[in-house]
Amino acid sequence: MLLSVDWDAFSGTRELVFDAPIWGTPDREADRLEVWRARMHKRGGTDWSSLEDDFPLYPGWRALEQYAGVPTWVALSHAEAWSWLEFFEPQEVLNIDSHHDLTSFSGDGTRLRPGNWAGLALAAGRITRYTCEYPAWHATLPVAEGYDLERTRSEVAALLPPQLMPRVRLLRADRASRWPGRHELSGILLVQSPAWTSPAHDPAFQELHHVLQAQVMTPPLVRVH
């Protein structure tokens, strides 16, 4: 099994924060830094800590430290996911993420992008089975993909080739959820997604990156306010 972890599963938001990126955001350079500065200034802050009330770092990420020694790569976005998959034989993928990454709702669906890498990899046989596990905090956030799993699955099914859907699972973490055992994993991809994740949490991401001794595919950001 391969494990993909998007930092936006932990660096998230609360309900009714209407300038949160989970409502939708592009992924341009400005969205990764300048837009976060604007959010900070809107809250009257002079450093990233002013974002914490609306954009908390949810617990659970330290569980990943158990995988120190498992081959791990780090990337700025899931744009590197296809290259990561090519390091391995086709196998099952578990993606811990706030987005399913199965299909894009606009543009050319056949062009590889961070939002459709998993669906294209399923179609190409690079992934045998795919599970997206949304974080538990999605349960209180109606705008989030993981709030209503049936709704999200129906949206995906309308765009994904029907023969792929039996190989797809969409779940939301709960108290019964467990992390895979070390022996189950062939490799890990750790993704920062800075347009979606608070700069206040960059130090924690860097800490995790170093604990896992991740090989750098694209350098993650350490954003200065």
Going from N- to C-terminal start, the domains of the chain cover: 2-15+24-216
Angle at CA of residue 27, ends 21 and 32, nearest 5°: 75
Rounded CA separation 166/67 (Å): 29
Rounded CA separation 218/196 (Å): 17
Instruction: Put residue 171 in one of left, alpha, beta given phi > 0 → left and psi -120 to 50 → alpha.
Output: beta
pTM across the whole model: 0.96
Per-residue pLDDT of the chain (225 residues; tens, 9 = 90+): 999 999 999 999 999 999 999 999 999 999 999 999 999 999 999 999 999 999 999 999 999 999 999 999 999 999 999 999 999 999 999 999 999 999 987 666 677 788 899 999 999 999 999 999 999 999 999 999 999 999 999 999 999 999 999 999 999 999 778 999 999 999 999 999 999 999 999 999 999 999 999 999 999 999 998
Distances (CA, A) of 173 to 52, 67, 95, 207: 22, 19, 12, 23
